[in-house]
Amino acid sequence: MLDPIKYFDEGYRKYKGSLYRICTLDQELVVVAGPDKLAEYLAAPDHIISSQASANEVSARARIVSALFGKS
């Protein structure tokens, strides 16, 4: 990210009181923009919030980017 603070600030203003994602080529960040949603996020069951599912999604995105741009 060229200006990460800008993206966090913009997302917080747009999505205050909810969750939002910031995606880069190598990671995906879930930002909790409010105390009410933080409690909801922490209480969610594992099958809803899964680091393995996230890893699989990031890996799939990397394969798509690789296929589109011919990098291995």
- Answer yes or no: is pLDDT of 72 > 60: no
**CA–CA distance, 68 with 66 (Å, rounded to integer):** 5
**CA–CA distance, 35 with 12 (Å, rounded to integer):** 12
Residue-level pLDDT at 1:
61
Per residue in 16-70, pLDDT tens? 888 888 888 888 788 888 777 778 777 877 766 666 666 667 677 777 666 777 6
Residue-level pLDDT at 71:
55
Residue-level pLDDT at 51:
65
List the domain boundaries for the chain.
Answer: 4-69
